[in-house]
Amino acid sequence: MAVPLMQAVRVGSYVVKQHLKRREKYPLVLMLEPLLRCNLACSGCGKIDYPAEILNQRLSVQECLDADAECGAPVVAVAGGEPLLHKEMPQIIEGLIARKRYVYLCTNGLLLEKKIDDYKPSPFFSWDIHLDGDKSMHDASVCQQGVYDRAVAAIKLAKSKGFRVSINCTLFDNADPYRVAAFFDSVMELGVDGIMTAPGYAYERAPDQEHFLNRQNTKKLFREIFRLGKGHKWRFTQSPLFLNFLAGNEQYHCTPWGKPLRTVFGWQRPCYLLGEGYAPTFEALMNETQWDQYGTGNYEKCANCMVHSGYEATAVKDAIKRPWHIAQVALTGPKVEGVMAPEIDLSQQRQAKYDYNEQVAELMKKLPKDSVKKRTAVRRVKKVAVQEA
Ligand code: SF4
C-alpha cells in the first residue's frame, strides 16, 4: 500500500467528520513553502522567478507551526524552493510530527545525504523525492546533468536508513508513455513506497512555455501509461479516482481550497499553483476568496489544469459520495479505453490577468526593511547561499 493503513484511516475519518459537520470547504493537505529559494532552476518551474530579497525570506519554525494550527489538515506537504536549504527544517518537521501530522518533505535530493541524519524515520514522515522520469528525462527537466543519479542515490540511502520514500513525477508533453512506464517499474524496484504523478501546471513564469500538456493530451498520455501499467504493481499515493480523472474518465471541477498554500507572504490565493494575491490568515483565505472565479471553465489560467492541487480533493469528495465507484476503480484501475467524460465548457471563462510586476512590487514592500539593503551582499554570497541558506 502506498499510504500506510493508519494514515488512510485517519485521513478518511477526518474527511467523514468534515462531512458530518456539514463543513462545505475544508483542507485536506496543508502545502507549506517555508522558502522559495532553490538550488536548481527547472525548466517547468514557476516558483523561483523572484528577486533575491524575496528568495531569501524564510518562514520561522513558529510560523510554520502556527500555519499548521490554523489550517488543521491531517497531511502537510513541505515544498518550496528546496526545503533542505532551510536551516530550521528539522525542527519544523519534528514539530509537525509531534502533532501527528502526516508529513511529506519534498526535495530534489541534492542535499539529502548531507542532511539525512537530522531526521528520524517515523510512520508520520516521508521523503518525497522529485524525479520527472528516467535519467535523460529528469536531467533535461531540471536542466542539469547528474541530478537523476543523485536523486536515486538519495532514495537508496533513505530506504537503507528505514525512511518512507515516495517520488513526485511531473510530466510534460514530450513524455513517452513507454519510457514513463519503464521508469515507474524502475522506481518500484528501488523500493519506493509510492508514486505521485501529475501533468505540469503551465506556470506563466516557467522558463519553458512550450512543453506544458493541454487537457486532451494529458488524458491520452495517462490512459496510455495506465494501459501499459496493467498487471504492474505500481503504488500511487493518490486516490484511484484522481488517477481515473487523469485518464479522462471523470468530469471533475476544481476544489482549490483542498490544498491551501502558506508561503513567506501569507496564504496564497487561490491555490498552490496560481498566485493571485495573499490572505493574512487561513480564515480570511477560506472566507474571503472568490472561489467561483477559479477552476477550469471559470478562468483562463485554469483552462489546462489537471493537477492534484485542485482535483485530488474533488476525487476524495467523490469517494465519500460514491464509495462503490472508488471501490470499483481501485479494483480494476483507471479505464483506458472507450469514450472519455465530457470536457468542461471553456466558453464562459474570464480572461487571464497578468500582474506579476505589480505583485512583486507589492511583495517587496512587505519585506523587512533590512532585507532590501542586503541586496548587494546577498549577490556576492549567492553561491554560498545556494549551498545552505
Ligand atoms: S484549476 Fe484549480 S488547482 Fe488548477 S490552477 Fe486553477 S484554481 Fe489552481
pLDDT for the residue 374:
53
CA atoms of 20 and 4, how far apart (whole Å): 24
pLDDT for the residue 144:
96
pLDDT for the residue 379:
47
Distance 294 CA to ligand 1 centre (A): 6
pLDDT for the residue 376:
44
Contacts of 225 (CB under 8 A, 6+ apart): 177, 180, 181, 184
Query: In this model, does residue 273 exceed pLDDT 60?
Result: yes
**Is the same domain home to 382 and 286?**
no
Q: Is 271 in the pocket of ligand 1 (CB under 6 A)?
A: yes
Q: Is 310 in the pocket of ligand 1 (CB under 6 A)?
A: yes
Distance 268 CA to ligand 1 centre (A): 12
Please tell me the total count of domains within the chain: 2
pTM exceeding the 0.85 threshold for the entire prediction: yes
**Is the same domain home to 142 and 161?**
yes
Quick one: what percent of the chain has pLDDT higher than 70? 95
Q: What is the DSSP string of 319-382?
A: HHH-HHHHHHHHHH-S--SSPPPPPPP-TTPBPP---HHHHHHHHHHHS-HHHHHTHHHHHHTH
Q: Name the residue with higher pLDDT: 376 or 92.
A: 92
pLDDT for the residue 38:
96
CA atoms of 99 and 333, how far apart (whole Å): 34
Per-residue pLDDT tens for 202-229?
999 999 898 899 999 999 999 999 999 9
Find the mean pLDDT for residues 243-249. Answer: 98
Find the mean pLDDT for residues 278-299. Answer: 97
Find the mean pLDDT for residues 62-70. Answer: 98
Domain containing 176 — which CATH number? 3.20.20.70
**Is the same domain home to 318 and 387?**
no
The closest of 118, 212, 126, 112 to 171, measured between CA atoms, is 212
Query: In this model, does residue 262 exceed pLDDT 70?
Result: yes
Nearest CA to ligand 1 atom 3: 310
Distance 223 CA to ligand 1 centre (A): 22
Query: In this model, does residue 248 exceed pLDDT 60?
Result: yes
Query: Which residues, in sequence order, are bridge partners of residue 77?
Result: 31, 104
Nearest CA to ligand 1 atom 8: 271
pLDDT band at 381 (very low <50, low <70, confident <90, very high): very low
pLDDT for the residue 389:
43
**Is the same domain home to 42 and 121?**
yes
Asked whether 60 and 363 are in contact (CB, 8 A), the reply is no
Quick one: what percent of the chain has pLDDT higher than 90? 88
Q: For a ligand 1 pocket test, name from 201, 302, 312 the mutation site with the most ligand atoms within 8 angstroms of its C-beta.
A: 302
**Is the same domain home to 67 and 193?**
yes
**Is the same domain home to 71 and 178?**
yes
pLDDT band at 373 (very low <50, low <70, confident <90, very high): low
Query: In this model, does residue 1 exceed pLDDT 70?
Result: no
- How high is the mean pLDDT of the chain? 93
Per-residue pLDDT tens for 329-354?
999 999 999 999 999 999 999 999 99
pLDDT for the residue 384:
42
Q: For a ligand 1 pocket test, name from 29, 269, 309, 346 the mutation site with the most ligand atoms within 8 angstroms of its C-beta.
A: 309
Nearest CA to ligand 1 atom 7: 295
Find the mean pLDDT for residues 193-201. Answer: 96
CA atoms of 151 and 383, how far apart (whole Å): 21
Query: In this model, does residue 310 exceed pLDDT 90?
Result: yes
Secondary structure (3-state) at 152: helix
Per-residue pLDDT tens for 71-120?
999 999 999 999 999 999 999 999 999 999 999 999 999 999 999 999 99
Domain region containing 377:
356-389
Interior angle at CA 168, CA 164 and CA 173, nearest 5: 160
Per-residue pLDDT tens for 2-56?
788 999 999 999 999 999 999 999 999 999 999 999 999 999 998 889 999 999 9
**Is the same domain home to 242 and 364?**
no
Find the mean pLDDT for residues 155-162. Answer: 98
Q: Is 268 in the pocket of ligand 1 (CB under 6 A)?
A: no
pLDDT for the residue 364:
93
- The residue behind cell 493537505 is 29
Distance 105 CA to ligand 1 centre (A): 22
**Is the same domain home to 327 and 368?**
no
**Is the same domain home to 50 and 85?**
yes
**Is the same domain home to 241 and 335?**
yes
Which numbered atom of ligand 1 lies nearest the CA of 271?
8
The closest of 245, 172, 166, 238 to 207, measured between CA atoms, is 172
**Is the same domain home to 236 and 97?**
yes
pLDDT band at 372 (very low <50, low <70, confident <90, very high): low
**Is the same domain home to 337 and 382?**
no
